[in-house]
Structure 1
Amino acid sequence: MSLPEILILDRDGVLFRHVEPYILFAHDVTVSPGAEQTVRTALELGVAVAVVTNQSPIGRGLTSWEFVHEVNARIHAWAPEGIEHRLRCYVCPHLPDDKCDCRKPLPGLLLQGAHDAGVDIGSAWMVGDHDTDMTAARAAGCGLAMHMTTGRQAEPSKIADICIDDLHTLIRLLRDEGGIQSTKSANELRRRL
C-alpha cells in the first residue's frame, strides 16, 4: 500500500487529548504531541486531510456549534498557506439514538470527506482512538484502519490493521518511502516500533 490519497483523523483522542466526558471548554483543549506536524506533513506530501468527530455535546445542549468551530479553527491554522483547502473538518452533532448516518461507527463522515476531496475511500488511512473509529473505517472501505492507543481505548484494537502509540509514529509512516506496503508489513512495523 502506498501513501494514502486522504488521511482521515478522529479529533478528540487523536489530535487533541481525550477528556472525560467531553471537550466542553477552552481549558479542556490540549493538542496531542505531533498533531500539528501530522496535519502539515500529510498536506505537504499531497495527502488530503479530513478530521471527523462525533460531537454529541451539541445535541445534548452541553456545548455550542460556535465552540466546536473554534476548536476546529485551531486545526485549520496548522495547514500551510496555499494548500489549506485540502483540510476539512466534519462534525456529527447527533445523539446515539438520533439514527443519523454520520455518527461513527457509521461511515457517513468518512465517505463525505473522501467525496469532497475527490478521492477513492479505498486509498484512505483512518486514525482513531476507539473501536467505533475502526468500525467506521471498515464500513467506509478505508484501505487502512489505524488505532492510536493514547485516547479513549488504551487496549489495542483487535479490528485495526495497526496500532500506534503516538502521532510521531504516524508521521514516520507518512514519510516512509511508499508508505505501508501491506497489512503484514504494518504488523511487522508495529512489532519493531
Structure 2
Amino acid sequence: MPPSMVVTDLNAPCDAKPAFMGLAGPIVIDAGGENFRQRIRSETRSAHDVVDDEMSLFDLRGSEAYGQFLARHDHALAVLRSQVRGEDHSDIQAMADRVRADLRILGFEHAEVTTSPERLDGFGVSYVLRGSRMGTRVLRARIGLGLPTQYVDFTPSLVWRDFLSELEAYAAEGGEAVQGKIVHAAQRAFEAFGPLQTCQA
C-alpha cells in the first residue's frame, strides 16, 4: 500500500487544499492582565471547541487515522512556528521535529506549506501551540500499541503555568491594543488545525 501524502500546499495536486475553521466571535473589551487568561479562553472557545470535536473523531489505534491526526498538528506547526515569540522557538521547533519524525515512521510525506503573509502576535500563536500539549496523558492512552509517540511524549522546557504567567504580564503591560492582537492571533492560530485532504502518493 503506497504511503499517504498529506497535502498542505495551496497549489498541491488532487485539488487538495487545507480547509480553515471560522473565527470565534468579536473581541469583547476587558481590562487588566489578571483577567486576561479568562478573556482569551472565552474569546477563543468557539474555535477551540471545533478543533477538540474534530480531533476526538480520530481512532488513534490505527496508523492511518493516527497519521491524519498528527498531520493536523504538523500543518499547524509548519504554518505558525515562524510567528511564535522568540522565547518559545526552541520548544516549538522540537515539537515540529518530533511530529515529522513520527509521520515519517508512519509513511506519511510532509508537503511544503503556504503560509499567510499576515503577521500575528507571537504570544497569541504560542498560546495555541503550547496549549495543544494539554491532555497528552489522556491522548497517550488512545494511541495504538507500537505506533510512534515522539511528539505526544515530548515535554516542553517551559511549563504551561509559567507561560500563562508571562502571557498575563505581557497583556497587562500592553493594554487593550496588545490584548486584542493576542486574541486575534490565537483565533487565527486555531484555524491552522483545520482538516486536510489527502491523496495517494
TM range, smaller chain: under 0.3
Please state which structure has a larger fraction of its residues in helix: 2
Could you tell me the TM-score, scaled by structure 2's length?
0.27
Q: Which has the larger radius of gyration?
A: 2
Could you tell me the TM-score, scaled by structure 1's length?
0.28
Please state which structure has a larger fraction of its residues in strand: 1
